[in-house]
């Protein structure tokens, strides 16, 4: 069975002999130079190349650009600089398998709903995938061209699942009991104390490096991202490390030879999906996801009456999200309204 073409895409052509390095556009068996070594300029050339393939007037109604092609453009451009490129990669794979060579002009609200039905995944997953499709279309199609009408499931309500202190202790205790889950202990403790995201925790080392953040055990500072990391919607601010966690980190640092904060058999870990699934089953906490740790950390901070603006800055959460999803956990929540209601309309004493 012949292999389906990936469509026009960028490729870095290394220097060879008298030929200088340059980005080229590969389209089937053909290759065209963009004339530039700048990635952004090359992406612009790729978008122009796709438009040159348009038949008839330059309108999205007549374009032959396919969904697969715009996904490729997006996947080789902005997706690589996103906070979690792997997650976008999974979304692109799922989208490409269903939409494939369908022309962008044929994307519609009904087709988006059909995709959601056949995908048979949680609304949040489908929303994220269709959001990726919309972002890819908006990125790849030039300004002035009409975009197709699209649809996404409504944003699901925020999960209100957080760990009690006893549940957190059980999770850690269970992880320590098995050699295949013991490496999750640092992941759990960092998540509970700092509310850091999964990808940020897994990229941590005990020294500065180019691929992610690091822990400064001397000064007690957690750098969640590498210093030159591109700013994204998901904030990951540098924070001071709570003293109890810092004691653990210093001990792990003394025992560590790989440099990775979370390691398995001396190696860094790209994902913990399998180990996490085993852990939550053995701990009898089947509804606890990796993100539950972050939710728990913020919830505990609210229980401890941390000011909302401080929590926003420490956890990298917008004030809007704090007020919408976490304010009800704060002991001062609606304190004024409750006081007024308790007084039954009488003025304060």
Q: In this predicted structure, what is the pLDDT of residue 72? A: 84
Please give the Cα distance from 158 to 108 (Å, whole number).
Answer: 28
Q: Name the residue with higher pLDDT: 116 or 156.
A: 116
First vs last C-alpha separation in the chain? 84
Please give the Cα distance from 271 to 198 (Å, whole number).
Answer: 9
Please give the Cα distance from 227 to 122 (Å, whole number).
Answer: 35
Please answer whether residues 279 and 171 qualify as being in contact, where contact means their C-beta atoms are separated by less than 8 angstroms. yes
Q: Which of 202, 197, 261 is nearest to 235 (CA)?
A: 197
- Strand pairing partners for 26? 9, 31
Q: In this predicted structure, what is the pLDDT of residue 61? A: 40
Structure token pair of residue 175: 């992880």
Q: In this predicted structure, what is the pLDDT of residue 62? A: 42
Beta carbons within 10 angstroms of residue 227's beta carbon: 10
Please give the Cα distance from 120 to 117 (Å, whole number).
Answer: 6
Beta carbons within 10 angstroms of residue 309's beta carbon: 10
Structure token pair of residue 197: 């995201």
Q: How confident is the model at residue 215 (pLDDT cuts 50, 70, 90)?
A: very high
Please give the Cα distance from 221 to 211 (Å, whole number).
Answer: 18
Q: In this predicted structure, what is the pLDDT of residue 231? A: 65
Please give the Cα distance from 98 to 91 (Å, whole number).
Answer: 11
- Strand pairing partners for 11? 24
Domains of the chain: 9-140 (no CATH), 165-329 (1.10.443.10)
Q: In this predicted structure, what is the pLDDT of residue 144? A: 63
74 Cβ neighbours under 8 A, 6+ residues apart: 92, 132, 135, 136, 139, 140
Give yes or no for residue 161 having a pLDDT over 80.
yes
Query: Which of 38-52, 81-95, 122-136, 162-176 comes out lowest in average pLDDT?
Result: 38-52
Q: In this predicted structure, what is the pLDDT of residue 198? A: 93
Please answer whether residues 223 and 212 qualify as being in contact, where contact means their C-beta atoms are separated by less than 8 angstroms. no
Give yes or no for residue 311 having a pLDDT over 90.
yes
Q: Name the residue with higher pLDDT: 17 or 282.
A: 282
Q: How confident is the model at residue 164 (pLDDT cuts 50, 70, 90)?
A: very high
Average pLDDT over all residues of the chain: 86
Segment 271-306, tens digit of pLDDT: 899 999 999 999 999 999 999 999 999 999 999 999
Give yes or no for residue 193 having a pLDDT over 80.
yes
Segment 31-86, tens digit of pLDDT: 878 778 888 778 777 777 766 654 333 444 445 788 988 898 888 777 777 767 88
Please answer whether residues 195 and 298 qualify as being in contact, where contact means their C-beta atoms are separated by less than 8 angstroms. yes
Instruction: State percent of the chain over pLDDT 90.
Output: 50
- Strand pairing partners for 10? 25
Please compute the mean of the pLDDT values over residues 321-349 and round it to a whole number. Answer: 84
* Per-residue H/E/C for the chain: CCCCCCCCEEEEECCECCECCEEEEEECCEEEECCCCCHHHHHHHHHHHHHHCCCCCCCCCCCCCEHHHHHHHHHCCHHHHCCCHHHHHHHHHHHHHHHCCCEHHHCCHHHHHHHHHHHCCCHHHHHHHHHHHHHHHHHHCCCCCCCCCCCCCCCCCCCCCCCCHHHHHHHHHHHHCCCCCCCHHHHHHHHHHHCCCHHHHHCCECCCCCCCCEEECCCCEEECCCCCCCCCCCCCCCEECCHHHHHHHHHHHHHCCCCECCEECCEECCCCHHHHHHHHHHCCCCCCCCHHHHHHHHHHHHHCCCCHHHHHHHHCCCHHHHHHHHHHHCCCCCHHHHHHHHCCCCCCC
Q: Name the residue with higher pLDDT: 187 or 105.
A: 187
Please give the Cα distance from 2 to 7 (Å, whole number).
Answer: 14
């Amino acid at each position: 069975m012949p292999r389906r073409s990936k469509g026009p895409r960028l490729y870095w052509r290394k220097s060879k002999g008298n030929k200088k390095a340059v980005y080229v556009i590969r389209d089937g068996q053909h290759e065209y130079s963009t004339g530039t070594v700048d990635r952004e300029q090359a992406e612009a050339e790729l978008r122009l190349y796709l438009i040159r393939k348009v038949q008839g007037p330059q309108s999205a109604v007549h374009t032959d650009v396919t969904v697969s092609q715009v996904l490729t453009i997006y996947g080789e451009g902005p997706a690589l600089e996103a906070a979690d490129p792997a997650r976008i990669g999974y979304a692109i794979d799922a989208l490409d398998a269903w939409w494939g060579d369908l022309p962008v002009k044929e994307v519609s609200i009904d087709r988006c709903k059909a995709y959601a039905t056949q995908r048979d995944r949680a609304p949040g997953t489908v929303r994220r995938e269709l959001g990726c499709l919309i972002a890819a279309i908006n990125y790849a199609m030039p300004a002035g061209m009409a975009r197709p009408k699209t649809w996404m499931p409504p944003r699901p309500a925020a999960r209100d699942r957080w760990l009690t202190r006893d549940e957190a202790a059980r999770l850690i205790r269970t992880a320590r009991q098995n050699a295949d889950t013991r490496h999750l202990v640092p992941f759990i403790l960092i998540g509970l104390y700092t509310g850091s995201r999964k990808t940020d925790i897994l990229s941590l080392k005990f020294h500065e490096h180019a691929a992610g953040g690091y822990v400064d055990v001397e000064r007690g500072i957690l750098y969640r991202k590498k210093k030159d990391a591109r700013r994204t919607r998901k904030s990951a601010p540098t924070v001071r490390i709570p003293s109890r966690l810092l004691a653990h980190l210093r001990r792990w640092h003394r025992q560590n030879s790989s440099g990775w904060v979370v390691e398995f058999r001396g190696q860094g870990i790209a994902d913990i999906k399998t180990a996490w699934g085993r852990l939550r089953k053995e701990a009898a906490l089947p509804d606890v996801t990796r993100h539950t740790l972050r939710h728990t950390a913020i919830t505990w901070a609210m229980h401890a009456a941390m000011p909302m603006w401080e929590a926003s800055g420490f956890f990298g959460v917008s004030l809007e999200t704090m007020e919408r999803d976490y304010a009800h956990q704060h002991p001062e929540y609606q304190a004024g309204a409750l006081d007024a209601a308790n007084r039954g309309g009488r003025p304060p004493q």
